[in-house]
Amino acid sequence: MAREYEQVARIAGGQRLDSVSIERAIHDYGRTLVMPPQTAFEQLDAVPVKNARLPRWSVRMNLWTAEEGRSDLSIELTLIEGEGGHIIELDDIHVL
């Protein structure tokens, strides 16, 4: 991946994690992120959030690295069907 932390933070609105926090979490893990295989997207953990004003899901997905393949590092997102489009919130990046 191209270390586009600013772009990721911008897409996610920078609400919970800014670009510095994203970069630090990945740097501290000490591996090189790569794009996961298509099958990884079919295995993500998505749970609908009940009683939300707008439809939303809590999503967790493992990240992949050049050194390990599927890694212990994961991201947690909130996906929201907003009135003006979809909203992505990056909640956390952490080791499972």
Closest CA to 46 of 81, 21, 1: 81
pTM (2 d.p.): 0.82
In angstroms, the CA 93 to CA 62 distance is 10
Instruction: Write the DSSP assignment of 6-17 as a string of letters.
Output: HHHHHHTTTSS-
Model confidence pLDDT, tens digit, residues 16-48? 888 899 999 999 999 999 999 999 999 899 999
Q: What percent of the chain has pLDDT over 70?
A: 98
Average pLDDT for residues 53-80, to the nearest whole number? 95
